[in-house]
Amino acid sequence: MKRALTCASSDSGGGAGIQADLKTFAALGVYGFCAISAVTAQNSHEVTHVETLSRESFRSQLEAVASDFKVDAVKVGLLGSPANTNELSRFLEERLPGVPAVVDPVMVSAAGHVFLDGETLAALKGLLARALLATPNVPEAESLSGIKISGRSDALKAAERILASGPRNVLVKGGHGSGEASEDVLLGEEAPDGRFFAAPRQESRNTHGTGCSLSSAVAACLALGFPLPEAVSRAKAYVWEAMDAARNLDLGGKGPGPLHHFYRYYGFTKEPR
């Protein structure tokens, strides 16, 4: 079995962060390890508290995994502090050289909570230099590049500018855009002229954790040995299907619901013995 490590925060609502990453790994047949960087108190419509773990606690989790297990891919989400971000940069360089890392630059929650201050954002840009792939959504790509995105050409320009900060490839996700299709743009070593991945745009309440799930799905597919463009294509298809399957997944929350990560495995009709 292939193995992937997620380094991210915990989401008490279960739809994003570590919880979404581990569900995605499992759904795609990859065993998941984790290093929790922060604990968030959140539900479907608000984040009420964030407590960042110490650098020592975060580092201890990383070292515990690396000292005993083989890691085939890494997914990076919200790290919570400059110290944890810099620690992970060091860890990837020293302990997991050559292991593909997918960095999702989580800046703002779906409920509008801003996670990164200026110092943490600066450290994040340093971490991007360790990434095989960075996966910003449109608002994050605009923040990282300083370019307003309103179409394909803008997304390519933003991706090109983000590439200058160090990642080998950039995927600008189009879920925050408009139009009939949600189109993602991949640019970098594996797509020097740019590649576009489109899917019909869904009108759905179940959008919480889509970014986390996409980046962890890409990491899972990389762990399985797929080349990056195919990993992106497979990951986008998985997230689209999990969102579509979540239409009848009502948890009673007031805000956006989660994806149905295990839609392929549900369908039992009998009570367990």
Of 120, 207, 221, 236, catalytic: 207
Of 212, 221, 236, 257, catalytic: 212
Of 15, 209, 236, 257, catalytic: 209
Q: Any catalytic annotation for residue 255?
A: no
Of 13, 174, 175, 211, catalytic: 211
Of 210, 221, 236, 257, catalytic: 210
Query: What phi and psi values does residue 133 have, to the nearest 5 degrees?
Result: -145, 135
Q: Any catalytic annotation for residue 40?
A: no
Q: Any catalytic annotation for residue 34?
A: no
Whole-angstrom Cα distance, residue 15 to residue 80? 18
What is the maximal distance between C-alpha atoms in the chain?
58
Q: Any catalytic annotation for residue 6?
A: no
Q: Any catalytic annotation for residue 221?
A: no
Of 173, 174, 188, 236, catalytic: 173
Task: Give catalytic residues, as residue numbers.
Answer: 173, 207, 209-212
